[in-house]
Structures are given as C-alpha cells and as structure tokens.
Structure 1
Amino acid sequence: MPYLLIEGEYRIIGGAPDGDSIRFYPRRTARWEQLEALSKTHRIRQNKDGGVQLRLDAIDALETHYTPGVSGASIEHQPLEYAHAARDALLGFLGFEQVQHGKDEKVMASQPERVSGFVLSKFVDVYGRAVSFAYQGTPPERDGGLVFVEDGLLSQSANHHLLAQGLVYPTYYSGLYFELRRVFNAAVASARRGKGLWPQDRTTQGFELKTVTTLNNRVVILPKLFRRLIDYLELNQGSLSLSGLEAYLRARNDEVVVLSRGQKTGLHFLVEVKGRKVRLKEPPENLMFLEK
C-alpha cells in the first residue's frame, strides 16, 4: 500500500515536541481529508490552522512529559538525558537551531521558527495523530501524490535517523510493512553495539522497582512499558505493590505479535514480575503491537 505525501512545514514554538512527536502544518489542509480516506480508521485532529500532531512511525522516544491516564494529576518523565537527546536530535535533523525550552518542556524560541518539509503517511491513530515518516527539505514527488516507500527513501527519514543513532526504541505496529521493519531492524542491530541509550537499556534485563523515581530518573526502558507501569502505579494511589500488575495489563488489552514465532498474545504475558523486579521477556524489535 502506498503512502500519501503531504508537503508543509514543522512549527514548534508554543508546543512541546519530543523525540517521536511534532506538529506539522500542510500546505493544503485538504490533505488531511485524503489521509482519512486512505486510512479508513479514525478522524484526524487538527487545530484552527490545520496543524496536526504527528506520531513518528516505528519509534518510541523516552518520555519528557507524560500525564498518567487515570487522574492526570501528575506529569512524569523518563531519564531526561536520553529523552532530551532524542528530542534535540529530531529538531536538529529537521533544521531547527538555537531552540529554547521552558521548564514545562514547551519551546519558547527557535531559529528558524518554521521549517519546510514533508511527511509520508497512510494511517490515523486512535488519538487523531497522523502516523508518519518525517522528512526535511524538498519532497521527491508532488504534494498529494501516493509514494511507495523503499529502502533508500526510508533511510532518509527522521525515524530511521533516530533509530540508527540509538536515541529511540523500535516500537512496531501492525500498519508497518514487513519490508520496512527489516530496514529498521538493521539500524537497531547496529545501534545496539553501543550507541545512544542502548548501553543503559534494562528492558529485557530487568530492574528493581523501588520507587517512582526509579522510573523517572534511574532506568532506561521501553517507553510503552514505562507508560503502563506509571499508569498502574497511579491507579494504586501511592502503593508500589506489583501484585495486581498482570491483571491491570490484561485489562488494558494490548495485543501483540511475537514476530519470531508469529504468535499473537497479550502484553500481560510478556511482562515478567518476580518480587520487585520487572522485565519484558522479548526485545522490542521482536514485537508488533496491534493498532486499536
């Protein structure tokens, strides 16, 4: 299936971009209607100027500001050294310089204020975001055209760049083609040799969850696992007991395929808890989550 090419610009002032999400404004807002027709899933959520939040496909960056889904009373983050490194690498790749951030992670100033580029997208997720490959510069085809993504074009994306630098985790969903996963996995294999966050990764090795600060400042893990743990702990209203984690994950119903076995299962079967130690049984690149 081809991807829709949408030409436009990235804007970051007043927003809080991170390593896998940024706001994009198309030259023609009618492109969002085209994307909805192509996606046949959810409606796009755009602001008054046509801007839409992108979810960069195939990657997940450490959280700079995550609001738990129960009460929304707190804002949590993962180790900021790596969360900010991914954010800064994305902004630099797209062409933003001298970016100034406030304490709330929002951008106060940048040079330039807007950067031209294009995205390739074919899917709208449940949150109304355009799931996309993001690019800088002039597009290879016309705005609004359909493009088949091959290895060379994929390797020019911000998505691939961040994976190759080891600054984000691979996180695959069912809309991503096998051939593209193969290209991303090659970048991951290379980065795992010592780049970016990988020397500190504890996703499959496991870690002891002593306090919430463990998640905020001390361990580098797959962001999806971080989000589920933070949501679970907030639901427990301060209790650090992990006795109900499996039941909680079961209720969240994250369906996932273990790619090496072609086995469909639930995330609750893949998260192992022994006492206070938590780990994911499979490496992230061996998993494909099913879109909701």
Structure 2
Amino acid sequence: MTMLLVHGSFKIIGSEPDGDTVRFVPLDPKAWDRLPGCPVKHSAATGETRLRLDAVDALETHYDRTGPEVSQPHEFAHAARDALLAFLGFSHVQHEGEKVVAATPATTPGWIATLGADNLGRCVALVGVGAPPGADGSQVQMDVPLLRTTANHDLLSRGLAYPTFYKKLFADLRTELTTVAHRARTEKKGLWRDDVTTSATGAVIPTMEALTGLVLLPKLFRRLVDHFNLVGTSLTCLPAFLAGAQDEVEVIPTDRTELSLKPLVQVLDGNAVRMTVEVEDLVFSEG
C-alpha cells in the first residue's frame, strides 16, 4: 500500500521536541492539501507543522493537558529525544529546560511518508533522512525494507519508546515493528529494563510524585495523570474514569474491540495498576 511522500526539512530551534514529536517544514507549503481526513495544522505561509511519529510513544517530557506540567523519568524520555534528533542529523543541541535554543545545523533535510493527521492536527508520519524514495508529493510504496530505514523503526528497535499502533498503519508494517519491539523487551534494551506496565504485582502509585518516577506506557501515564488531576489520587474510581476516556481499541490476540482501557487495566490492592495486555497487541482508533 502507498503513502504520501513529502520532502522537506526538520526544524528544532525554539521548539520542544521529544522522542515522538518534531517540527517539519515541507518543500511545498501546499503539501498538506493532498491529504484526506483530519486537516494538518500548519503555517499557511511555510507549511510548517508538528509531526507525530507513527507507531511510537516515547516517555513524556512535558505533559500538562489537565494540570501542572509533569514528566516521566528523564533518563529514557531524553534518551528517546536525543536519539531522534541525532537520527535527523542534529548535533551540539543545547536546551533551556525542554526548549532547544541552539543546534548544528539549524535545520536538516529529510522526508516523511504519511496517511494524514491525528485529531490534534499533527501529521502522523514515518520519518526518514537521506535520499527520498520517490518524487516530492508522490505516492510511495511503504514496505518493510523502507520502514527499516526510518526513525520510527530505529527508536523501537533500540527500546527507547513503546510501540503504540493505530488502525491506519498497514498490517505488515505493524508486524515488523512488533517483532523489533518484542526483541528489545526480551533483551531489556532501553526503557524495557525498568518497564512496569504489565508487572504482575502492578505499579504502586499512591501519589503523583510516585507516578512520575515510573517507566510506564505513556498512554496509561496520561490517563493516570488526568485521573489524579480531575478525580483524585485514590484509584477506586479509576475504572470508571477509564471507561469515559473513549480509547477504542482492538485486542489482536482475541479479535475483540473494547471501547476504553477499562477492561485492559487492573487495580490491585487499591493502590497499584497494571495492564493485562502487552501494548503491541493493541490497535487504537484515532479519537
């Protein structure tokens, strides 16, 4: 199957890139007009937009949707960010907090392959550097060999991010990414060394401070942060909160669809949480 190929450049100075999001400026500012579905939010003058790497969910460096800014362990959050920026060709990157204030060079050339945007208007893409695999604005055949050249594949194979799949991603690409993520977990690479998402005893989280110290699937982390901010630190109401979060998800091994994370998350002893399914066995709907 094919995806839209867009040539352009990556831009990080003045922004707060993390392990799965980065700024991209297309060669043709009208590139996004070729995409169906949710519109890509972008600069009308230059086409600059915020990319979200498809199939990749890195630990949060700054999450503040429902309250004060919080983050996950910086060891792995920053490792993913730094690996992505190095993959894109940046060096000597300097930060003030999470904001990039200097880098060499100022921009780097690259390409993306995309099927559209998410519900926040971010272009969801597979990200590459070097010679593009086709003409700008063309439809490129995205197969497994080409996938292996992308930043998405690199991050998952090194265990620097969690695989998190959405329905638009082609099944053969999902299978490849599942394979490399499973291998990284087995070898305890990167964040898998400390991951507690499916721990048999659950992740004990009596406070927000305890939560931010855990290596946990970012999607679950965000739901827990929102619960703490909007409901409270007691986990008694977490199942009901998750039921209202509208995370429609297909559970691949059982071929069933759930309308939220509630059936996939256990609360143990009133103060611990675990997911009962590995994340690579889930396919989420955008929403």
Shorter-chain TM range is: over 0.9
Hey, what's the Cα distance between the residues in 2 that align with 1:175 and 1:130? 13
Which digits, 9 at most, give the CA deviation of each residue in 1:107-130, with x for residues without a partner?
000000100000000121111111
| Superposition deviation, residue 186 in structure 1 | 1.2
Is residue 2:52 matched to residue 1:58?
no
User: Contact 1:20/1:56 (CA < 8 Å) preserved in 2?
Assistant: yes
> What is the CA-CA distance between 1:49 and the residue it aligns to?
2.9
SS in 2 for 1:76: coil
Q: Report matched runs for 1:185-264 at 5 Å.
A: 185-192=178-185, 193-205=187-199, 206-217=202-213, 219-236=214-231, 239-264=232-257
Deviations 1:203-232 (A, max 9, x none): 000211121111212x10100000000011
Task: Find the aligned partners of 2:58 and 2:247 in 1 and give their Cα distance.
Answer: 19
1:112 to 92, 99, 105: 105
| Separation (CA, whole Å) in 1 of partners of 2:244 and 2:176 | 33
Contact 1:68 1:76 in 2 (8 A): no
Describe the SS at the equivalent of 1:252.
coil
Amino acid at match of 2:34: Q
Q: Which residue of the partner structure matches residue 22 of structure 1?
A: 22
Is this contact kept in 1: 2:206–2:234, CA < 8 A? no
Q: Deviations over 1:37-56 (max 9, x none)?
A: xx3x2111012532111110
Mark the runs of 5 or more structure 1 residues left unpaired by the alignment: none
TM-superposed CA distance for 1:247, in Å, is 1.0
- Following superposition, the deviation at residue 148 of structure 1 comes to 1.3
Instruction: Look up the SS of the partner of 1:260 in the other structure.
Output: helix
Contact 1:68 1:230 in 2 (8 A): no
1:86 aligns with one of 64, 74, 80: 80
Matching residue of 1:282: 277
Q: Which runs of 5+ in 2 are unaligned?
A: none
In structure 2, distance between residues paired with 1:7 and 1:215: 40
Native 8 Å contact 1:10 1:116 kept in 2: yes
* Matching residue of 1:174: 167
Distance 1:289 1:85 in 2: 25
Report the residue type matching 1:287 in the other structure: L
- The alpha-carbon deviation at position 269 of structure 1 amounts to 0.9
1:202 positional shift: 0.2
| 3-state secondary structure, aligned to 2:93 | strand
Q: Check conservation: 2:7, 2:111, Cα contact below 8 A.
A: yes
Q: Which segment drifts farther, 92-101 or 263-272?
A: 263-272
Please identify runs of 4+ aligned residues in structure 1 that moved more than 6 A: none
Work out which of the residue numbers 125, 146, 149 in structure 2 matches 1:132: 125
What SS class does the counterpart of residue 61 from structure 2 fall into? Answer: coil
The residue that corresponds to 1:267 in the other structure is 261
Residue 50 of structure 1 aligns with an amino acid whose one-letter code is G
Q: Match of 2:68?
A: 74
Contact 2:93 2:104 in 1 (8 A): yes
Question: Distance between the aligned counterparts of 1:133 and 1:93, measured in 2?
Answer: 13
Aligned 8 A contact 1:22 1:54 in 2: yes
Contact 1:201 1:221 in 2 (8 A): yes
Identity of aligned residues (%): 44
1:68 is displaced (CA, Å) by 2.7
Task: Give the letter aligned to residue 172 of structure 1.
Answer: F
TM-score, length of structure 1 as denominator length? 0.94
Native 8 Å contact 1:250 1:268 kept in 2: yes
- Check the 8 A contact 1:65/1:76 in 2, yes or no: yes
Report the AA paired with residue 203 of structure 1: T
What secondary structure is seen at the aligned counterpart in 1 of 2:152?
A: helix
Q: Distance in 1 between matches of 2:119 and 2:204?
A: 33
2:9–2:109 contact (8 Å) kept in structure 1: yes
Q: Secondary structure at the match of 2:242?
A: helix
Letter matched to residue 197 of structure 2: T
Which amino acid counterpart does residue 16 of structure 2 have in structure 1? A
